[in-house]
Structure 1
Amino acid sequence: MHRIARLLGWLALASLIFVTVVPIGLRPVSGAPVSLERLGAFAVLGFLFAFGYPKRPAQVLVLVIIAAAGLEAFQLLEATRHGRMADFLVKAAGGGIGVAIGSGLAALPAFRRGVEA
């Protein structure tokens, strides 16, 4: 189960990179408030990585925060996008929530069997 979470985490990160750096017209729209989209996307990312790498919660949190900062910075390279501190903070908060939930779930006895990393 942890291996699947790792794979899904890396796929989620690749997807977030794609939707963050493409022109705004190519970005998928869910209809939810954009802050909720950001929070949710990074919560899922943090959860998947924390569950996939249960012995490395601090490194996972750093990775998610760096990803949030990097993606906001990359948006400055695309004319139709903008990187904002407020957006970064929402993404980092979502990532932190996801890491906390993923780490907590991974620590439960039912999920501790077969932990490799």
Structure 2
Amino acid sequence: MNFRRIASLLAWLLFGVIAYSTLSPIGMRPHIGTWVHVERFGAFGLLGFLFMIGYPGRLPFVVAIVLGTAVGFELLQMLSMDRHARLGDLAVKLAGGACGIAAGWLMARRLPRINQNSNYPG
């Protein structure tokens, strides 16, 4: 199993965790104890990074899935009685996703060079 396949698997698993965290009742929402905006930014940043590493040649797909997920999940919160959609929350998620995609894009550009030199004995 190569690095890109692992990254794509982790990206889809994180997608499921974010879906659960975003759409579950507020009392069941997991949190790590920091500011909620840090959690949102970090989760979508990691999601964007993992998707970009997992699908390096598919930037439009990655942008659509990561940023579309942020918008879609925020809108779906309007269907829940105890959750609410806020523009500020969406902005943090979009910023995190965009930063993660950018970091993943830069890393994916470097991976072919790193992989070429992996057989170097020195």
Same fold (TM over 0.5): yes
* 4+ aligned runs moved over 3 Å, structure 1: none
Q: Deviations over 1:23-49 (max 9, x none)?
A: 000011211111111000000000000
TM, length-normalised to structure 1: 0.91
Equivalent of residue 40 in structure 2, options 38, 41, 48: 38
Q: CA RMSD in A?
A: 1.4
Check whether the contact 1:105–1:111 (CA below 8 A) recurs between aligned residues.
no
Aligned equivalents of 1:57 and 1:112: distance in 2?
A: 23
Q: CA deviation at 1:58?
A: 2.7
Tell me which structure has the larger Cα radius of gyration. 2
Q: Deviations over 1:5-61 (max 9, x none)?
A: 001101100110011111000011211111111000000000000000000123211
Matched pairs, number = 113
Q: Structure 2 unaligned runs (5+)?
A: 118-122
**SS of the residue 1:31 aligns to:** coil
Check whether the contact 1:21–1:75 (CA below 8 A) recurs between aligned residues.
yes
**SS of the residue 2:85 aligns to:** coil
Q: Deviations over 1:76-105 (max 9, x none)?
A: 111111011111111011000000111111
Equivalent of residue 62 in structure 1, options 61, 64, 79: 64
Q: CA deviation at 1:111?
A: 4.8
Aligned equivalents of 1:26 and 1:37: distance in 2?
A: 15
**SS of the residue 1:44 aligns to:** helix
Q: CA deviation at 1:112?
A: 7.4
